[in-house]
Chain A
């Protein structure tokens, strides 16, 4: 059973609150790099909310752009990895095998969106923070590349449940942590192979665009352009 997982990000709804980032950090065993490391450009978050200013001071509007891994269908990161640590899985997701990674960092250089993060150091979770580590994922060691997986562990769990109950996956059953958390409901996740899914419908919206579309990477993350002014 194949799927075409995709995400829609409605920029009209995004308030830039950053709850998606927090949820992602909690879900995916992402270390907190600390102020000094972040200053050096070594933020470990898999999802970043970019802020741009639209217009000049009195009429300036903040524009927020959440950027997770685009899960490109023609992913530039995959071809350049010498050891197949990053590859295209059966669902068309751009997957990472941490154990395989030797840390050439070529994938991160070749990612036009710069969404890959590298473990520049070993990270520790002080007690009792280690209690919150999810057993569904490994904790990555130093020297390993990592990135957003569309919460592949949640996808796997839903697949197993559906298979055990002998049914197809229902629309909206798979919910990545960021989508689940987003307070204004700006994020939507679903299967493009399902012609009746909400995301298939949503992506017919004329506001749709994809980031750096001209590069031909065919991202699975689609944005819906902001139409309204400040304050909604």
Chain B
């Protein structure tokens, strides 16, 4: 290694301490927030146990609406998971230089949203205590799970994605854990020493790291796309008017990335505010995320329009009854979906001023997240509530038990994230350092512009 090392190491310490304020000893406020989240999560868990003991009758579910808020939440959370690893992988592959500060936070978000989302199918089934019937284990009946069922595809895809994302998250963190090991003290030093797997930052290690992370990034993209396609096929494969649609797989992936980016914006803005990361998480990151969000809003609108137009023009009575309920019983929800997903975000995000303002972007993202939840609900419920036979039509509204479980799930996600931020470097220190080394401020006329020594490292980045 070159002689510039000494300078780099001193800088590294300062950078590490700036970026890992989240790892400082827990304050009273931290315990308060964590305790509150744990309380809500426990309340949700308690309500789930109550539901398990009493039966699904404590929900608002009925015939024909056998799937409700739990399945909507499942689709919603799995959708949120799509930004993190996917975006991070795409940005790694395209060598987008602005990616460094959002990598870790986004990847962690994927892992935790998947954990929460993956719980919902288990929460929702009638005999949760028999969930292991769906696992292929050798049993006395010599029965294996039915792989013709899209639910089994789901189980396989989500488990693959979860394991892949966790590996991706951990693998990307190894150089940062090594930095943390070098600068931390006390129990943290031991903790990071074990997790860093002896990474020293030699040339050979970095070379292998870059090759491996490229391979990981390439492999995780088809997995991510397949996961939400399969979630879409849970519905599209069914003989249910409004579900049975060929457009669902790409439409679900689009919606997933759309809500996921909004989720990343919210997470990043929170991290920036709470841990004073304004110097790293700059408007560049937020503006770029805003551009992505704008494009996904347009794409989502296009998909929805294409889906709506074909049904509207065709007027197949079975499907049309479902769509008619959007204008009737479900009108408030339908309107909020269209407004929150397209009518407000798209024009606003076209404006540079909105994209560059963190509060404005957060507001838009919040709308998108709410709108996407409404969209998930509108996909799951009205199609069931307006089945083929009008005699059994029935509406559905979630009960307090369902609301409690949903709140518990949100609290669980936030809790996992808070604890993760306390224990691990939440910013990709080594990636940020790499970027800082390449960047210089140059004066061009009256303006100071950030310029880069070169685009991309050239090693592994282009295969």
Selected from A67, A108, A121, A144, the residue in CB contact (under 8 A) with B63 is A108
Residue contact B237 to A80, C-beta cutoff 8 Å: yes
Contact status of A117 and B55, CB under 8 A, knowing A81-B149, A103-B126, A104-B151: no
Complex interface residues of chain B between 95 and 128 (CB less than 8 A to chain A): 121, 124-128
Number of A-B contacts (CB under 8 A): 137
Q: Name which residue of chain B comes closest to A39, CB basis.
A: B62
Q: Roughly how many angstroms separate A67 CA and B388 CA in the complex, as a whole number?
A: 13
Residue contact A113 to B389, C-beta cutoff 8 Å: yes
B49 at the interface (CB under 8 A from A): no
Q: For A212, what are the chain B residues with a Cβ–Cβ distance below 8 Å?
A: 388
Nearest CB of A to B275, in Å: 42
Which of the candidate stretches B27-35, B130-138, B195-203, B339-347 sits at the interface with the other chain? Answer: B130-138
Q: Roughly how many angstroms separate A142 CA and B124 CA in the complex, as a whole number?
A: 13
Residue contact A109 to B130, C-beta cutoff 8 Å: no
Q: Interface centre among B54, B126, B240, B387, by most A CB within 10 Å?
A: B126
Residue contact B63 to A143, C-beta cutoff 8 Å: no
Residue contact A110 to B238, C-beta cutoff 8 Å: yes
A83 at the interface (CB under 8 A from B): yes
Selected from B55, B121, B391, the residue in CB contact (under 8 A) with A119 is B55
Q: For A145, what are the chain B residues with a Cβ–Cβ distance below 8 Å?
A: 126
A101 at the interface (CB under 8 A from B): yes
Nearest CB of A to B156, in Å: 11
Selected from A103, A104, A215, the residue in CB contact (under 8 A) with B239 is A215
B143 at the interface (CB under 8 A from A): yes
Main secondary structure of the interface of B (DSSP, over half): loop
A79 at the interface (CB under 8 A from B): yes
Contact status of A82 and B149, CB under 8 A, knowing A37-B57, A104-B125, A120-B56: yes
A204 at the interface (CB under 8 A from B): no
Selected from B62, B64, B239, the residue in CB contact (under 8 A) with A40 is B62
Nearest CB of A to B123, in Å: 12
Give how many A residues have a beta carbon under 8 Å from the other chain's beta carbons.
46
Residue contact B149 to A50, C-beta cutoff 8 Å: no
Nearest CB of A to B95, in Å: 42
Q: Name which residue of chain B comes closest to A85, CB basis.
A: B133
Complex interface residues of chain A between 26 and 42 (CB less than 8 A to chain B): 37, 40-42
Residue contact A80 to B149, C-beta cutoff 8 Å: yes
Q: Roughly how many angstroms separate A217 CA and B238 CA in the complex, as a whole number?
A: 13
Selected from B64, B66, B130, B148, the residue in CB contact (under 8 A) with A79 is B148
The proximity string for B residues 223-241 relative to A, scoring 1 for CB distances below 8 Å and 0 otherwise, is 0000000000000011110
B301 at the interface (CB under 8 A from A): no
Residue contact B143 to A84, C-beta cutoff 8 Å: yes
Give how many B residues have a beta carbon under 8 Å from the other chain's beta carbons.
42
Q: Name which residue of chain A comes closest to B394, CB basis.
A: A41
Residue contact B146 to A81, C-beta cutoff 8 Å: yes
B150 at the interface (CB under 8 A from A): yes
Q: Name which residue of chain B comes closest to A51, CB basis.
A: B391
The proximity string for A residues 149-188 relative to B, scoring 1 for CB distances below 8 Å and 0 otherwise, is 0000000000000000000000000000000000000000
Q: For A109, what are the chain B residues with a Cβ–Cβ distance below 8 Å?
A: 64, 66-67, 238, 240, 384
Q: Roughly how many angstroms separate A100 CA and B378 CA in the complex, as a whole number?
A: 31
Contact status of A143 and B62, CB under 8 A, knowing A118-B56, A121-B55: no
Selected from A42, A50, A79, A108, the residue in CB contact (under 8 A) with B57 is A42
A52 at the interface (CB under 8 A from B): yes
Q: Roughly how many angstroms separate A42 CA and B61 CA in the complex, as a whole number?
A: 9
A14 at the interface (CB under 8 A from B): no
Contact status of A142 and B239, CB under 8 A, knowing A79-B148, A117-B63: no
Q: Name which residue of chain A comes closest to B56, CB basis.
A: A120
Residue contact B127 to A114, C-beta cutoff 8 Å: no
Residue contact A82 to B55, C-beta cutoff 8 Å: no
Q: Roughly how many angstroms separate A217 CA and B239 CA in the complex, as a whole number?
A: 10
Nearest CB of B to A231, in Å: 23
Contact status of A41 and B125, CB under 8 A, knowing A80-B151, A118-B56: no
Q: For B57, what are the chain A residues with a Cβ–Cβ distance below 8 Å?
A: 37, 42, 120-121, 142
Q: For A41, what are the chain B residues with a Cβ–Cβ distance below 8 Å?
A: 62-65, 392, 394
Q: For B149, what are the chain A residues with a Cβ–Cβ distance below 8 Å?
A: 79-82, 106
Q: For B392, what are the chain A residues with a Cβ–Cβ distance below 8 Å?
A: 41, 48, 114
Residue contact A102 to B56, C-beta cutoff 8 Å: no
Q: Name which residue of chain B comes closest to A52, CB basis.
A: B391
A105 at the interface (CB under 8 A from B): yes
Q: For B398, what are the chain A residues with a Cβ–Cβ distance below 8 Å?
A: none
Residue contact A83 to B126, C-beta cutoff 8 Å: no
Q: For B133, what are the chain A residues with a Cβ–Cβ distance below 8 Å?
A: 83, 100, 102
A-B contact pairs, 24 of them (CB 8 A): A40-B62, A51-B391, A52-B391, A80-B151, A80-B238, A82-B145, A82-B152, A83-B143, A83-B146, A101-B127, A102-B130, A103-B125, A104-B124, A104-B125, A108-B66, A109-B64, A114-B63, A114-B64, A117-B63, A119-B126, A120-B61, A121-B54, A142-B55, A143-B128
| 17 more CB-based (< 8 A) A-B contacts, given A83-B145, A102-B126 | A41-B65, A81-B146, A82-B149, A84-B146, A104-B121, A106-B151, A109-B238, A110-B239, A110-B240, A113-B389, A114-B387, A114-B388, A118-B66, A120-B61, A121-B56, A143-B55, A143-B126
B interface residue numbers (CB < 8 A to A): 54-57, 60-67, 121, 124-128, 130-131, 133-134, 143, 145-146, 148-152, 155, 237-240, 384, 387-389, 391-392, 394
Q: Enumerate the 5 nearest inter-chain pairs by beta-carbon distance, A residue then B residue, closest first.
A: A103-B126, A143-B126, A41-B62, A142-B55, A120-B57
